[in-house]
Amino acid sequence: MIKKIIVIITLFLNVISFAQKSNTSAYSFYGIGETNKSITADQFSMGGIGATLSDAYHINLLNPAANTSLFFTTFSLGGETRNISADDGVSKESASTTHLSYMAVGIPLGKGASFTFGLMPNTTVGYSLISNDELNDDGDVVKGTLYEGNGGSNKVFFGFGYEVVKGLSVGVQGNYIFGDIENSILNENITNSLATKYESNSSLNSFAVNTGFLYKKKIKNDLELSVGGNFELSNEIRAKGNEYLYSISRSSGVAKDTILSEEGTGYIKNPLKTTVGVGLGKENKWYLGLDYAKQKPIELEGTFFNSYTKVKYTDYSRISLGGYYIPKMNSITSYWQRVTYRAGVKFENTGLMIDPSGSSSNFSEINDFGISFGVGLPVSKQLSNLNFGFEFGKRGKAKNGLIQENYVNFRLGLSLNDKWFKKREIF
């Protein structure tokens, strides 16, 4: 057992110390980046559901109350590849990135109790955008602006779940959020030897709490009805760092005169986010779940966000529908009958509204629609499995100066199950 703990701690240290570019979306430009969904590869394959998803072999990253069903100590690791094709109505560009998406451990603490901990991205920033501000008569760029950013925030979490009465579990999870973001804006004019560059480097930190509940009841014909919810309590993320504005040589890239150098702060206020769901299924056979999430608009304050005239926030909402099917979990004659087949769909109003003109009079909502599917492949006698998930969808629309992103995402997850605290048997 000690060797296993050492391996897991080593993996966590490696992930923390290894910086990754984990986003290529133009919409990660705003705020502190695109919010990462707290889901495993198997949840990803089912439209992102999780309010009522609970079994003995998989960790639920959304609802801490759902992990009271864990029978084995479970180590879960996942990676994701994102492929985006961006269309602004004039031209198309594509980009991709691969990164670790989560690491988590779930430990059963006797009957009806569980402890979970792990690490995952919280928000991600990764964009490179060029604006052709002025063209000459031949169509060549005279003035242009380059926007670049990378980084984001990570989340270390510790959760506890407990079955208070038969069928009813509650859970609580503490999250420490930290990270760094780098943003820059470069303005160039080919008639000038110098360009102007703005840079901001910020460090993020916060502490957040979410709670959850799950109620399960057997009904007729071995059917099980589940009702659950997760509540991310309101929190505030602080951004603190430095802002610079200076001239730069266009030929050598060497910085010249510094126009501005000062410390800056910013605050991202996240209101209560509620996710509720209902599920129906037969244990180790099939399951169908429906989730609904909502949140009031987030708020940006401070010097780091004073220049965000092209963005505002509205109510966030998401509907997810998904499920799985296992032909015959204990089949001896057919491997493919033991495979878990998953599928799902989601519709999300991201809460982000953009006005590319900056006039604050023509904001458009950014919506996200996706279809997902995947499989869970058994890999050992101890019910460990390898999970593959694919998602196809689109975000935004190519109108009014906005960008439509068509994406194909792939997530690979490994769920290892073992009995760490098995009693010794004396013969």
Answer yes or no: is pLDDT of 427 > 70.
no
What's the mean per-residue pLDDT of the chain?
85
Write down the residue that tokens 């690490």 correspond to: 119
Local confidence band at 304 (pLDDT 50, 70, 90 cut-offs): confident
- CA 196 to chain CA centroid, nearest Å: 34
Local confidence band at 9 (pLDDT 50, 70, 90 cut-offs): very low
How many Cα neighbours within 13 Å face the side chain of 146?
Answer: 10
Do 70 and 397 contact (CB within 8 A), yes or no?
Answer: no
- Spatial CB neighbours of 383, under 8 Å, sequence gap ≥ 6: 56, 57, 72, 417
Report which of 115, 125, 190, 114 is spatially closest to residue 152, judged by C-alpha positions.
125
Q: What is the mean pLDDT of residues 398-407?
A: 85
Give the pLDDT of residue 207: 95
Convert the pLDDT of each residue in 74-115 to its tens digit: 999 999 999 998 887 777 888 888 888 899 999 999 888 999
Provide the token pair at 211.
Answer: 């709670």
Question: CA–CA separation, 292 vs 103, rounded Å?
Answer: 25
Answer yes or no: is pLDDT of 7 > 60.
no
Do 407 and 391 contact (CB within 8 A), yes or no?
Answer: yes
Give the pLDDT of residue 359: 67
Strands 92-108 and 73-87, how do they pair? antiparallel
Q: What is the largest CA-CA distance in the chain?
A: 91
Give the pLDDT of residue 186: 86
Convert the pLDDT of each residue in 45-57 to its tens digit: 999 999 999 988 8
Give the pLDDT of residue 426: 45
CATH number of 2-418: 2.40.160.60
DSSP state for residue 37 in the 8-state scheme: P
Convert the pLDDT of each residue in 123-139 to its tens digit: 888 887 777 666 666 65
Give the pLDDT of residue 1: 42
Domain residue spans of the chain: 2-418
Answer yes or no: is pLDDT of 150 > 80.
yes
Give the pLDDT of residue 16: 45
- CA 194 to chain CA centroid, nearest Å: 40
Do 87 and 406 contact (CB within 8 A), yes or no?
Answer: yes
- Spatial CB neighbours of 110, under 8 Å, sequence gap ≥ 6: none
User: pLDDT over 90 for what percent of the chain?
Assistant: 48
E-state strands within 250-362: 255-270, 273-282, 286-295, 299-302, 311-313, 316-325, 340-354
Do 303 and 243 contact (CB within 8 A), yes or no?
Answer: yes
Convert the pLDDT of each residue in 341-400 to its tens digit: 999 999 999 999 888 766 677 788 899 999 999 999 998 765 788 999 999 999 988 887
The DSSP element (H or E) to which 4 belongs, if any, is helix 2-17
Question: CA–CA separation, 213 vs 230, rounded Å?
Answer: 7
